[in-house]
Amino acid sequence: MLEIKGLRASAGGKEILKGIDLTVNAGEVHAVMGPNGSGKSTLAQVLAGHPAYEVTGGQVLYEGEDLLDMDPEVRAQAGVFLAFQYPVEIPGISNAYFLRAAYNEIRKAKGLEEVDSMDFLDLLEDKLRIVEWGPEIMSRAVNSGFSGGEKKRNEILQMAVLEPKLAILDETDSGLDIDALRIVAGGVNALRRPSHATILVTHYQRLLNYIVPDQVHVLSAGRIVKSGRKDLALELEAKGYEWLEQEVGAAS
């Protein structure tokens, strides 16, 4: 589904990704871990097309197409979804209005008819259940005045409605209390499909107690320095990132 080859990217003239190789197949969950500043959030944002980053090398194929050549909205319409680390507040429009606008754009891109607000509310009912929310949240302005946990839950709700093929979660677990973490993780698990894939970008192993990854990758200084099964995350948790950096340093 996703093939990343030698991806390099920089921001403000500073190179952050220094050659990333990663292949994600349908049905898989990959965890991308690493210390602060290792480039894991950059990777997530580059895949979604954040304009602050310049891709300086490499290639990303998504379902065989050149992902980097697509505008952010085209990526979304093709089924790529980024759950933001810091979801944006949009005072002035309701959560329902925003999400329906997005949902309809994606439908239009697929050649499907737009849904009206009544039909959309019906559809929302099931999706809200996934994040254990009532309908009140939909009349509040997008993320405006939401707590940190509510913002993250809202990202999962958007994901549930938009049903992406490739979901990238950028530190969706950070700053969550245990209840919010359980709800967010439950949402991700509920949306797992054999035809879909998920990339979890996370600093902590904690999330992986709830969402079991097929593979774990560790990023350091813009490169994947180690990949393994889910046990790698536990080892990291026990020994810390320093252990890995020393090991990599010794090897090179």
Q: Where do contacts with other proteins occur on this chain (CB under 8 A)?
A: 48-52, 71-73, 75-77, 81-82, 84, 87-88, 90-93, 98-99, 101-103, 105-106, 109, 141-142, 158, 162
Rounded Cα–Cα distance for residues 44 and 48 (Å): 7
Nearest distance from C-beta of residue 135 to other proteins, angstroms = 19
In this complex, which beta carbon is closest to other proteins, that of residue 38 or of residue 45?
45
Rounded Cα–Cα distance for residues 218 and 31 (Å): 8
In this complex, which beta carbon is closest to other proteins, that of residue 99 or of residue 137?
99
The dihedral region occupied by 66, where left means phi > 0, alpha psi between -120 and 50, and beta the remainder, is: beta
In this complex, which beta carbon is closest to other proteins, that of residue 86 or of residue 243?
86
CB of 176 within 8 A of CB of 148?
yes
Nearest distance from C-beta of residue 76 to other proteins, angstroms = 4
Taken in order 11, 171, 78, 143, is the CA torsion positive or negative?
negative
In this complex, which beta carbon is closest to other proteins, that of residue 47 or of residue 188?
47
Rounded Cα–Cα distance for residues 127 and 120 (Å): 11
Nearest distance from C-beta of residue 250 to other proteins, angstroms = 40
Nearest distance from C-beta of residue 92 to other proteins, angstroms = 3
